[in-house]
Amino acid sequence: MNEQILDMLKELRPEYDFETSVDFVMDGLLDSFDIVSICGMLEETYGIKIDGLDIVPENFSSVAAIRSLVEKSLGK
């Protein structure tokens, strides 16, 4: 799942190096529009619905945080 998420991020913002970033939002790699876009990609890829209350910067700060959000949305 980590590799799929990283591929989505690279597709969304190919100019950034997500692998070396500690916090995607704080480092300026993702803005609010990007977060909405990645939510759509995650929902389509994993067949989930991300709760609006979960669309907060800390859930998109790293691949691990995004994976946790997906797992939560999958009911794991």
The residues near 16 (Cβ < 8 Å, ≥ 6 apart) are 9, 29
Please list the alpha-helical segments (H only) found in the chain: 2-12, 32-46, 63-74
- Separation of CA 23 from chain center: 11
CA distance 72 to 59: 11
- Separation of CA 10 from chain center: 11
Domain of 13?
Answer: 2-74
pTM listed for this prediction: 0.93
Average pLDDT over residues 3-20: 96
**CATH number of the domain bearing residue 11:** 1.10.1200.10
pLDDT digits (tens, 9 = 90+) for 32-75: 999 999 999 999 999 999 999 999 999 999 999 999 999 999 98
Average pLDDT over residues 13-34: 96
Structural domains of the chain, count:
1
